[in-house]
Amino acid sequence: MTAYFDTLTERLRAHGLPAADIDGIVADLSAYTAESGADPEEEFGPVDDFARRLTPKEDNDGPEMETETWRWTADAFHERARLNEFGDQGWEVERVDAFGHFISHRDRARPQRWEYLRTTAGRDRPPAAEGWEHCGNWMIFDYYKRPKSAMLGPAGELPAPPTASSGRVFWSKRFYLWIGGYLVLLIVLLTGVLGPSGPTIAISLLVTVAVMVLWVIVGQRRARNREG
Amino acid sequence: MPADRRASWLKGVLDLLVLATLTEGESYGYEIAKTLADAGFGQIKGGTLYPVLNRLEEAGLVVAEFRVADRGPGRRYYRLTDQGRRTLAEQSELWLVFDESVRTILSKEAGR
């Protein structure tokens, strides 16, 4: 056995391949080079690379390593600005899920910059001939994307993807104000209808709703962790 | 068989197909995607097509010109260069030889 196959055996062992599989692979490759007379390094390439390619786990991880996936959401007051900001960082929205999350991915090797449009569902569809593609729908909104290369050519690509944001939820100040205003209105209305006990009932209702929302969020997070 | 096998096949030949769509004259992204879809390759998404067009442009195999449209912001029109035409001819020949070899083996298997 040559030094190449000795090293290959070590590398495959380090990658966690079962000993019996390693013996079979190395015996097979040795027989191959013995018959062909080829130099193993020339035939199979650098030993570290070859060991990686022979390891199923590494093989399966390949495509995932090339593409990053990110699930995030933002409120309707500023999601267009966020979409275009993240689109400029190479994130392409693949779809919008039922909870309003933008399921996005980014090509690590050759990231494209993307721009986005939002229209009222079923209306004002931007022209496909100009590169717009439908990428999702949520409630009354349709979302469209276009690679910036459609207008800029190679300048529409990123030289390298910037660090991905660690956040997943982007609420705007206007959204918090809107929620606050809505709650105040609810309390005022309930006080008007139910008298002095209105605020207590309103707060009880709000706490119940908050607990339910929290329960849904935790459930989703657990489901995602199980998937991951 | 992996579900994305067609996608893998396409990956290896998409640049040639894009060049081939330009042999009869200039075209733009959406029209190229439509030509390929009509030829049976399925819908080629912008995220797949434009990186290929960019690579071809950077390699000098196509040149692009941005033209403002009467309505809307306009489009980039792509045209084959002489180098692109030569590359297409050379690479098409190689692909056809490869295709023939695949057919030879697969038709033997199918005949068994």
Q: What interface predicted TM-score (ipTM) does this complex get? A: 0.72
Residue A61 has pLDDT above 60, yes or no: no
Give strand pairing partners of A120: A141
Q: Which of B31, B50, B69 sits opposite A150 (nearest CB)?
A: B50
Q: Which of A46-55, A177-186, B31-40, B59-68 shows the lowest per-residue confidence on average (mean pLDDT)?
A: A46-55
Closest to B60 in 3D by CA, of B76, B40, B81, B44: B81
SS3 B3: coil
**CA atoms within 13 Å, Cβ hemisphere of A178:** 9
State the pLDDT at residue A60: 42
SS3 A32: helix
Q: How many CB atoms lie within 10 A of CB A24?
A: 11
Q: How far apart are CA B112 and CA B105, in angstroms?
A: 11
> Tens digit of pLDDT for each residue in A154-184?
999 998 888 888 888 999 999 989 988 988 8
* CB contact set of B15 (below 8 Å; sequence gap of 6+): B52, B55, B56
- Helix intervals (H) in B1-112: 5-21, 29-36, 46-58, 82-111
* Average predicted confidence (pLDDT) for chain B: 90
Backbone angles phi, psi at B28, to 5 degrees: -125, 170
How far does the CA of residue B16 sit from the closest CA of chain A (Å)?
A: 18
CB contact under 8 A, B47 and A130: no
The residue among A180 and B87 whose pLDDT is bigger is B87
SS3 A163: coil
> In this structure, what token pair is assigned to residue B57?
């442009």
Q: Which of A86-90, A222-226, B13-17 shows the lowest per-residue confidence on average (mean pLDDT)?
A: A222-226
DSSP A126: P
Which residues on B lie below 8 Å from A111 (Cβ)? none
For the full predicted model, state whether its pTM sits above 0.90.
no
State the pLDDT at residue A59: 43
Determine the Cα angle at A62 with ends A59 and A68, to 5°: 155
Which residues on A lie below 8 Å from B8 (Cβ)? none
Q: How many CB atoms lie within 10 A of CB B41?
A: 16
CA end-to-end span of chain A = 41
Contact assessment for residue A141 and residue A76, using Cβ atoms and an 8 Å cutoff: yes
Which residues on A lie below 8 Å from B75 (Cβ)? 129-131, 150
State the pLDDT at residue B72: 67
Residue A58 has pLDDT above 50, yes or no: no
Which residues on B lie below 8 Å from A128 (Cβ)? 30
Sheet with B75-80: list strands edge to edge.
Answer: B27-28, B75-80, B62-67
How far does the CA of residue B30 sit from the closest CA of chain A (Å)?
A: 5
Amino acid at A173: K
Mutate to test the interface with A, among B15, B28, B30 (most CBs of A within 10 A): B30
* CB contact set of A207 (below 8 Å; sequence gap of 6+): none
Contact assessment for residue A131 and residue B46, using Cβ atoms and an 8 Å cutoff: yes
